[in-house]
Amino acid sequence: MSMTIDESGLRALKEQARRTWAAGDYDAVAAGIWEVGERIVRRVGVRPDDCVLDVAAGTGNAAIRAAAAGATVTALDLTPELFPAGRRRAQEAGVELQWVEGDAEALPFDDESFDVVISTFGVMFAPRHEVAAGEMARVLRPGGRIGLATWVPDGTIAQLFRTVAAELPPPPPFAQPPLAWGDLAHVTALFAGTGIEPTAERDALPIDPDVAIEEATDFYINAFGPLVMARRTLSEQGRWDQLAARLAAVIERMLREPAEFLAVTGTKR
């Protein structure tokens, strides 16, 4: 995408993203999708001699699994507020890894530094998809592997994001929709010319089909950063109640139906 970028607007958007994912209790929310990290590590075939980068690692659901496989792992995220929970989880798992504050669109690593680059529901939220994809490809060695998990546009998680986004101001024009990463054609176009030809399979994960909806709705409103921030914004405008009234049905579907995602893998020529 060729577009003149307002650098101050880009910085403001990323700071807003940092505050959003720092709000609430992301680690508690991530527990519901923790299994996906293991699936991606298994799909990409992490080995003990691999040097692995987890981009937008959150609290480490993939990074910790890669370290448990014996790899040397760096977990990078824009939101360092998530690292204490990640370090605690790593300690509980009996593994060590490096935690680095950093931007998926400007990875602070040399070219061809890693054997494996992974991301589970993380890099998809970088606003400029081509830039993020190019950075992941840049730091990957020839013969290295990439493994991503991204929410599909027609899934239950996508419905939650769309329901919230409909009540908020639109993002700036340079910010591409995160859910586009759930479309293989889009991902293939992102990596065109990088030496990576991605393949993908749809996968699904049950979130928590047995929890009471009232309890789950209260949990997500108070723990999930995007909902926490939406409530703050909309409450100030007197508009929160109209969104809250719709959330229970959206969250019920999210919990009762398996959450589908795209599992993307590829090898760099």
* Full-model pTM: 0.96
DSSP 70-117: T-EEEEEES-GGGHHHHHHHHHHHT---EEEE-BTTB-SS-TT-EEEE
With the CA atoms of 90, 96, 99 and 105 taken in that order, what torsion angle do they form, in degrees rounded to the nearest 10? Answer: -100
Q: pLDDT tens digits for 180-190?
A: 999 999 999 99
Domain count, the chain: 1
Domain carrying residue 142: 7-152+173-206+259-267
Give residue-wise pLDDT tens across range 86-138.
999 999 999 999 999 999 999 999 999 999 999 999 999 999 999 999 999 99
The answer as to whether 177 is a domain residue is yes
Q: Give the model's pLDDT for residue 4.
A: 64
Q: What is residue 2's predicted lDDT score, i.e. its pLDDT?
A: 44
pLDDT of residue 91: 98
Which whole-number Å values give the CA distances from 234 to 168, 216, 240, in the listed order?
8, 20, 5
Mean pLDDT in order along the chain per 10 residues (269 residues) = 74 97 97 96 98 98 98 98 98 98 98 98 98 98 98 97 96 96 98 98 91 94 97 96 92 94 98
In a domain, 116, yes or no: yes
Task: Give me the sign of the Cα torsion angle 216, 118, 78, 2.
Answer: negative
Domain-located, residue 99: yes
Residue 154 is predicted with a pLDDT of 97
CA separation for the pair 53, 95 (Å, rounded): 15
- Exposed, middle or buried: residue 96 (CB in 10 Å: 0-12, 13-18, 19+)? exposed
In a domain, 214, yes or no: no
Establish if 2 belongs to a structural domain.
Answer: no
Report if residue 118 sits inside a domain. yes
CA distance 254 to 213: 10
β-bridge pairing 259-267 and 199-205: antiparallel
Residue 213 belongs to a domain: no
16 in a domain, yes or no?
yes
Give pLDDT, residue 3.
Answer: 54
pLDDT of residue 208: 81
The confidence score (pLDDT) of residue 195 equals: 98
The CATH number of whichever domain residue 60 belongs to comes to 3.40.50.150
Please report the pLDDT score of residue 1 as a whole number.
42
Q: What pLDDT is attached to residue 152?
A: 98
How many residues in total does the chain contain? 269
